[in-house]
Structure 1
Amino acid sequence: MHILAHGIDIVRVHRVQHSIEEYGEKYLARVFTDVERAYAEDRPRRRFEHYAVRFAAKEAALKCLGTGWSQGIAWTDVGVVHDANGAPWLTVTGVAKRFADELGVKAWHVSLSHTDDLAMASVIAEG
């Protein structure tokens, strides 16, 4: 297998926090999967950081696909889950998966990092 694409994104935590506080449930349901929401809500002290880093992962994944948020891709088509050891994994479904399949993506790799101010994600699409 080989690297098909590498996407990186960085987000200011306060921008995601503002969107959550401004639009509430409507924003959360539109942007984050149920698994992502449960993960962030189970960690209230760093809740906004966890949402922001997942937002960054979604953006980085779409950079790999080269589509942006056009062509019918939903925010929830891309999600972050964790394995038993806590390592993050990317899930790609729906229209985003169709584009990934067309590109020949066989595996996704994701690395997340965040502070109280910034959230960063690096996503690699492997084929």
Structure 2
Amino acid sequence: MRVLQGVNLVEISKLEASVKRQKGISLKRMFTPAERDYCAGKRMKFEHYAARLAAKKAFLQAVGINLKKKDAFAGIEVRNEPSGKPRIELSPRIRKIAGIMPEDQIELSLAHEREYAIATVVIVKR
């Protein structure tokens, strides 16, 4: 058994400024339609976008890969269980690149407030 861990912190105002500068194009490249729908329905939507971006970056840090294209982030999706607990779902392409097997366990923790969002990813490889 091997344990991998990644942590990432995102400054919310920088993400918001980037999205506004690019007129929302980056949202479509970095987030899935389900993630965009989820965040758009929230009062502080950029806090939620930033938490999801932090989760994607923390996952990549945990597995030790650096994807250069921002649209690769769309292959890493943050969803919520009915209980509200966040989880990461991977596209087959990202799963293969990252070497994640079906029996591997991915745990995700998110937090955000007005200025920052943070995510921690722990992967237990069996």
CA distance in 2, matches of 1:97, 1:62: 11
In structure 2, the partner of 1:52 is 50
- Selected match of 2:90 from 88, 92, 96: 92
The farther-off stretch of 91-100 and 33-42 is 91-100
**1:24, 1:73 → 2: CA distance?**
16
Q: Give how far 1:78 is off.
A: 0.8
Structure (1 or 2) with the greater helix fraction: 1
In structure 1, what is the Cα distance between the partners aligned to 2:116 and 2:47?
Answer: 8
Indicate the residue corresponding to 1:14 in structure 2.
Answer: 13
Identify the residue that residue 34 of structure 1 maps to in structure 2.
33
Q: 1:23 to 1:94 in 2, by over 3 A?
A: farther
In structure 2, the gaps of 5 or more residues are: none
Unpaired runs of 5+ residues, structure 1, are none
Give TM-score, length-normalised by structure 1: 0.88
Contact 2:29 2:70 in 1 (8 A): no
1:103 positional shift:
5.3
Q: Which residue of 1 aligns with 2:77?
A: 79
SS in 1 for 2:9: strand
Q: Give TM-score scaled by structure 2 length.
A: 0.89
Aligned equivalent of 1:107: 105
User: In the alignment, is the contact (CA less than 8 A) between 1:88 and 1:110 conserved in 2?
Assistant: yes
Q: Contact 1:57/1:110 (CA < 8 Å) preserved in 2? A: yes
Pick closer, same or farther for the CA change 1:18–1:72 going to 2, 3 Å: closer
Say how many residue pairs are matched.
124
